[in-house]
Structure 1
């Protein structure tokens, strides 16, 4: 009975974290699809910009990794609620970037949001490392991708 309850709890917690995390993806995608063009197509981009098709599979993978990371952290014995709150705040900033960049077409403000987001990701990485190495390692690609996004965002600001 206890094992069944634990298994159900783990499944339900994964579904909850999945929905919360992918809600950022869903909202960001809606804003991007509806407000990206023609504005984004007309921006001067650096040679470091990847093709547009790469973003969807990369972000889908990163959102899945974030979900698994917070889920492993949640089921760790030494978890703390402050880290969970930071995760939720970070999801809000993750969504906000798409709204500010693609929805409002504010490159500089998007840069500010991205710097805050990277700070929150670094905080999560540090907190995860103390409690669960799987969570820690799952966040590294996300941190690197967001640093790359920062580089691209700075280039767009300079070139436009």
Structure 2
């Protein structure tokens, strides 16, 4: 197993931010003109907020899995769950922005939130700081769920 702290951080960074890249490309390529035509709730943040927030959250996720990886009692199943959760993270952007399927995007978010909760619990058993680093991501994803439900209702 990889033990070099610098190498593993770089690998987890690349893997985690690949999810960001996939979601970002899907969003940028297919967002308009469809997204502009949707009725959005009054609490929908301006577009410029999403980039910085997601960048910070992806960095926190990277640090969380990296710290977990270097813990004595890590469980590889938790690492696999982390990778699976990244697939659902990217899938939301594809389902919502590429396929314009608001309802299915809601289902993807529910699965994603469930996986984040599982990760928080599993991280907490081994490395509490890793679980704490995932909480802002959970809260933002719950906010995304509320936005998704609101857009579904309004449209």
Offset of 1:14 from its aligned partner?
0.5
- In structure 2, what is the equivalent of residue 130 of structure 1? 125
Q: TM-score, normalised by structure 2?
A: 0.98
- In the alignment, structure 1 residue 108 sits paired with structure 2 residue 97: no
- In the alignment, structure 1 residue 36 sits paired with structure 2 residue 31: yes
SS at match of 2:72: coil
- RMSD of the alignment, in Å? 1.0
Larger Rg over CA atoms: 1
Output the CA distance in 1 between the equivalents of 2:42 and 2:73. Answer: 45
SS at match of 1:50: coil
Output the CA distance in 1 between the equivalents of 2:88 and 2:79. Answer: 15
SS at match of 1:151: helix
Output the CA distance in 2 between the equivalents of 1:66 and 1:94. Answer: 12
Report Cα offsets for 1:105-140 as digits up to 9, x if no partner: 000000000000000000000001111111011000
Give ranges in structure 1 of 5+ residues lacking alignment. none
Number of residue equivalences: 154
Output the CA distance in 1 between the equivalents of 2:67 and 2:108. Answer: 27
Offset of 1:75 from its aligned partner?
0.2
Structure 1 stretches of 4+ with a deviation exceeding 4 A read none
Alignment of 1:43-54 (within 5 A): 43-54=38-49
- In structure 2, what is the equivalent of residue 158 of structure 1? 153
Q: TM-score, normalised by structure 1?
A: 0.95
